[in-house]
Amino acid sequence: MSEALAAALAAEHAAIYAYGLIGVRLSDGAAEQARSAEAAHRSRRDGLVLLLTERGGPVPVAEPAYELPFAVTDEASALRLAVEVEERTAAVWRAALPATEGADRTRALNGLTDAAVRATRWRRTAGVNPATVPFPGRPT
């Protein structure tokens, strides 16, 4: 159970790193959207650090840097990465669902749901249609 949440924490670290690169390529509403998303990831990260520390298990720390799946050079690639980051984060939280129960399951579902909603918002911002997927977080 805690290992699934540790994986989620590692994903949140990576997402926060990615948003640092995404945000500087965006402006106005999209930049605000990125700030809000990054804050949400930081909040999830902080909650997980607290929880995992209390439990005494491994608490993954952030890497100094993460290799990106593609270069972020402009607004379009920044939006694409934002969608990608949220999809991947959703998948990690989804993978935690079978490994958890009770409050941890609820935490995982909230993580999945929030990431899926942000992925949809980013697709809309990027003009991707459809903006939704039938099974968020599921490998296809």
Partner 1 sequence: MSGGCAERNVLAGPEPDRRTDDAAVSAPAPSAAPMVLTCRVRSGNTNQTIGAAGRSRREVVQAVALAALVGATGSLSGCGLFGGEPDPPPPDPLAPLITGALDLAARHEAAIAAFPDLADRLRPVAEAHRAHAAELSRVTGTALPSPTATVPGTDPGAGSSTALLGQLREAERQGREAAAQACAGAPADRAALVGSIAAARATHLEVLR
Interface residue with partner 1, options 31, 51, 128, 131 (CB under 8 A): 131
DSSP one-letter code for 61:
P
Q: Considering beta carbons, is residue 23 or 60 the nearer one to partner 1? A: 60
List binders of partner 1 among 69-128 (CB under 8 A).
69, 84-85, 87-92, 94-101, 105-106, 108-109, 112-113, 116-117, 119-121, 124
- Smallest distance, partner 1 to C-beta of residue 63, A: 5
CA proximity to 41, closest of 26, 68, 23: 23
- Contact between 111 and 44 (Cβ < 8 Å): yes
- Contact between 81 and 68 (Cβ < 8 Å): yes
Three-class SS state of 91:
helix
Interface residue with partner 1, options 29, 56, 127, 130 (CB under 8 A): 130
Three-class SS state of 88:
helix
* Dist CA 62 CA 122 (whole Å): 24
Q: Which residues bind partner 1 (CB under 8 A)?
A: 1-4, 6-7, 9-11, 13-14, 17-18, 58, 60-63, 66-69, 84-85, 87-92, 94-101, 105-106, 108-109, 112-113, 116-117, 119-121, 124, 129-140
